[in-house]
């Protein structure tokens, strides 16, 4: 590297689209001279003008001083040819996701830049080793994956290839920090860290929908209200676009040799095939526009409130909730009252069969997550509807109620366990350090906590129990617990313990 301090460093950016322009903007805003180049006629000039407009808006909003705007603009130059990137200490490529195209750009750069110039790719999925394999000097090639929109997203994944030197990796980490980003070093794996780890949240929601356990609005409400996510998985998929999230899911599933933990659903592909892409087309899992009807996640009942319920011993959360809601909680089953239980990783059918409980009067409550604003209830097939409606009427004045079909793990347990499990599997695979995994998932996906932090919050032994029961009841290895999780759960250790 020409200058380890980056005080006199010049970086080049190849590709003047949204990502390339964003990278150039954060570089010049953080004191780094930048040259932007694009093979498209006038694209780099247009990108420079757009960056100037964004900087001016920051001044108008009071987020940037005028003198800093002027300095930032002065640091940005446009290259009319790729040869003008010769003085750069680092060149970051941000063109289309095509291996041949990227290798071609790097092949040209090798003939132009100095021997110690670092070549970094902003690829979101292509293997760094595959890009570097076609070059003469593989040791200076690495990934530097920014997230869109770059000026707002703080995370940068730094991905060394099989031949990348430790010095190159360290220098890119330092560059990311100089650019005001938070770098996380990640192993060269399909989807890297965030796109790989982000599969659990939407795909388990899709499985819930496919099984007719719950509707999109119900799933989203539970994950927001009870587990602290900013957006539910379905509104998130609609925002990013089915044409974006389905191909990523398919890519990771294929790259992992059809591991069922990454399996999507036929409904997901159907949405893509029928053009129901989300907000961009006005219809996805939800409809958008002035006349769109809003789905309600809340159950309502005009029935009389159940005056009494029977809560078996040990189901503490159900007992406390019903007492708060003013019900008479019976110590013994009177043969007519609703039977309210809390279940972990089990569905009502399995519980009734295992315990001999009267399934017709059985109502289950999810005890995990924050139940202060919303509770999730489910009943087995053949349950008496009046029993359920009486419980809804009793609880609804105190809490929003979501009623779903019988399912091991309800909604929240299923999705949270899968997010936690994949986080543990990433730690097992060594994709990043446990701390790095949590940081990347918080910053890259706006998760309320990282997956290993979530595991500790729910308790590792509980997550392990949920997954083990779900795997047994469904017969689906989709739910097989990560060995990282199993070992730490069995030993009573933190999920972050190494």
SS (H, E, C) 319-364: HHHHHHCCCEEECCCCCCCCEEEECCCCCHHHHHHHHCCCHHHEEE
Is 195 catalytic? The answer is yes
Residue 4 scores a pLDDT above 50: no
pLDDT value at position 1? Answer: 44
Within 8 A by CB and 6+ apart from 299, the residues are 377, 392, 396, 401, 402, 403
Top-level CATH class of 308-404?
alpha beta
pLDDT in tens, 178-229: 999 999 999 999 999 999 999 999 999 999 999 999 999 999 999 999 999 9
Q: At 292, is the pLDDT very low, low, confident or very high (cuts 50, 70, 90)?
A: confident
Of the residues 89, 93, 157, 346, only one is catalytic, namely 157
pLDDT value at position 291? Answer: 80
Within 8 A by CB and 6+ apart from 431, the residues are 186, 187, 189, 192, 193, 196, 197, 437
Q: How many CA atoms lie within 13 A of 71 on its CB side?
A: 11
Is 137 catalytic? The answer is no
Domains 10-188 and 308-404 share a fold: yes
Residue 6 scores a pLDDT above 80: no
Instruction: For residue 288, report the phi and psi dihedrals to the nearest 5 degrees.
Output: -125, 155
| pTM of the complete model | 0.94
One CATH from 3.40.50.720, 3.30.70.920, 3.30.720.210, 3.50.50.60 for 10-188 = 3.40.50.720
The average pLDDT across 22-27 equals 98
The packing angle between helices 216-225 and 200-210, to 10°, is 140
Fold of the 195-281 domain: 1.10.1040
pLDDT in tens, 84-113: 999 999 999 999 999 999 999 999 999 999
Q: At 125, is the pLDDT very low, low, confident or very high (cuts 50, 70, 90)?
A: confident
Angle at 54 between CA 50 and CA 59, to 5 degrees: 145
Of the residues 124, 301, 389, 482, only one is catalytic, namely 124
Residue 409 scores a pLDDT above 50: yes
Is 50 catalytic? The answer is no
Task: Report residue 199 CA to chain centroid gap.
Answer: 7
Average pLDDT, the chain: 96
Of the residues 89, 122, 195, 301, only one is catalytic, namely 195
Of the residues 93, 122, 145, 249, only one is catalytic, namely 145
**What tokens does 384 get?**
């008496």
- Identify the burial level of 165 via C-beta atoms within 10 angstroms of its C-beta, where 0-12 means exposed, 13-18 middle and 19 or more buried: middle
The average pLDDT across 136-157 equals 96
Quote the CA–CA distance of 8 and 28 in Å, as a whole number.
12
Residue boundaries of the structural domains of the chain: 10-188, 195-281, 308-404
Residue 7 scores a pLDDT above 80: no
364, 482, 346: which is closest to 424 by C-alpha? 482
pLDDT value at position 294? Answer: 86
Q: At 52, is the pLDDT very low, low, confident or very high (cuts 50, 70, 90)?
A: very high
pLDDT in tens, 339-394: 999 999 999 999 999 999 999 999 999 999 999 999 999 999 999 999 999 999 99
Is 124 catalytic? The answer is yes
Under 8 Å between Cβ of 115 and 137 = yes
Q: How many CA atoms lie within 13 A of 133 on its CB side?
A: 8
pLDDT value at position 356? Answer: 97
pLDDT above 90 covers what percent of the chain?
Answer: 96
The average pLDDT across 282-288 equals 96
């Amino acid at each position: 590297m020409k200058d380890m301090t980056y005080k006199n460093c010049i970086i080049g950016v190849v590709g003047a689209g949204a990502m390339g322009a964003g990278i150039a903007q954060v570089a010049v805003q953080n004191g780094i001279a930048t040259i932007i180049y694009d093979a498209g006629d006038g694209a780099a000039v247009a990108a420079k003008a757009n960056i100037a407009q964004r900087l001016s808006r920051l001044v108008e909003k009071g987020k940037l001083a005028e003198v800093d705007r002027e300095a930032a603009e002065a640091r940005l130059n446009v290259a009319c040819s790729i040869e003008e990137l010769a003085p750069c200490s680092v060149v970051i490529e941000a063109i289309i996701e095509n291996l041949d195209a990227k290798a071609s750009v790097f092949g040209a750069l090798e003939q132009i830049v100095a021997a110690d110039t670092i070549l970094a790719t902003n690829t979101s999925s292509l293997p760094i080793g595959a890009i570097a394999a076609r070059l003469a000097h593989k040791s200076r090639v690495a990934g530097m994956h920014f997230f869109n929109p770059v000026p707002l997203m703080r995370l940068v994944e730094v991905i060394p290839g099989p031949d990348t030197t430790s010095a190159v990796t360290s220098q890119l980490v330092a560059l990311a920090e100089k650019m005001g980003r938070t770098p996380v070093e990640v192993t060269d794996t399909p989807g890297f860290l965030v796109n790989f780890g982000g599969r659990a949240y939407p795909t388990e929601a899709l499985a819930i929908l496919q099984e007719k356990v719950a509707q999109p609005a119900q799933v989203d409400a539970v994950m927001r209200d009870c587990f602290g996510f900013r957006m539910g998985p379905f509104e998130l998929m609609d925002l990013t676009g089915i044409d974006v999230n389905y191909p990523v899911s398919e890519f990771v599933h294929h790259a992992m040799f059809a591991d069922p933990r990454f399996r999507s659903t036929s409904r997901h592909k159907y949405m893509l095939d029928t053009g129901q892409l989300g907000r961009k087309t006005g219809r996805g899992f939800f409809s958008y526009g002035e006349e769109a009807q809003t789905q309600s996640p809340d159950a309502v009942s005009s029935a009389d409130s159940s005056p009494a319920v029977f809560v078996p011993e040990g189901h503490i959360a159900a007992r406390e909730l019903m007492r708060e809601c003013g019900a008479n909680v019976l110590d013994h089953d009177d043969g007519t009252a609703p039977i309210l239980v809390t279940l972990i990783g089990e569905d009502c059918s399995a519980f009734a069969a295992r315990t001999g409980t009267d399934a017709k009067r059985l109502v289950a409550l999810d005890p995990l997550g924050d139940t202060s604003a919303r509770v999730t209830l489910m009943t087995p097939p053949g349950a008496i509807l009046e029993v359920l409606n009486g419980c809804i009427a009793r609880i609804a004045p105190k809490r929003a109620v979501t009623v779903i079909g019988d399912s091991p793990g309800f909604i929240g347990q299923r999705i949270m366990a899968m997010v936690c499990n994949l986080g543990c599997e990433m730690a097992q695979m060594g994709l990043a350090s446990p701390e790095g995994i949590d940081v990347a998932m918080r910053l890259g996906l706006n998760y309320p906590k990282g997956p290993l932090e979530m595991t500790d919050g729910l308790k590792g032994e509980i997550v392990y129990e949920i997954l083990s029961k779900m795997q047994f009841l469904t017969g689906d290895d989709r739910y097989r617990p990560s060995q990282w999780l199993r070992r730490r759960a069995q030993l009573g250790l933190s999920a972050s313990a190494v």
